[in-house]
Amino acid sequence: MQIYLNNTEQTEQFGADLFKKLSGKVLIFLEGDLGVGKTTLVRGFLRAAGYDGVVKSPTYNLVEEYLLGEVSVFHFDLYRLTDPDELEWMGIRDYFDQEAICFIEWPDKGQGFLPKADKVISLVVDGNGRKLTF
């Protein structure tokens, strides 16, 4: 499926719509260049889940955790990862063992350590908007 997103609000709305369609344990890879809207999409997802705090890219922490009642969401950003072995040291398998929704930005940086994604979402700049492939 491919859709065109005109602005940030539509990207957040896609994330909110995604929340309504997902449940249980899900691993989602988010692909796209810097600034294309990956974290914006996650923000929309979290807002729909009832989270009203700040949603930031976990670039320096590698992971942000959101425990929302019965829903656990882990948002990973592997952009600054220098060696996929770092994922083992941080205990990434422990996150995947939980009944949680995991978003991973820059999944190519974790090749060899990441399991196969349940869903892959790609975002690319297209004119003034974004083309999203799901």
- Mean pLDDT value across the chain: 92
Number of domains in the chain: 1
Read off the pLDDT of each residue in 42-59 and give the average, rounded to a whole number. Answer: 91
Band (49; pLDDT cuts 50, 70, 90)? very high
pLDDT at 46: 96
Give the CATH number of the domain where residue 108 resides: 3.40.50.300
* Residue 51: domain span: 2-133
Cβ burial 61-98 (10 Å sphere, 16+ → b, else e): ebbbebeeeebbbbbbbbeebeebebbeeeebeebeee
pTM: 0.93
Band (89; pLDDT cuts 50, 70, 90)? confident
**pLDDT digits over 54-85, tens only?**
898 887 788 999 998 888 999 999 998 888 88
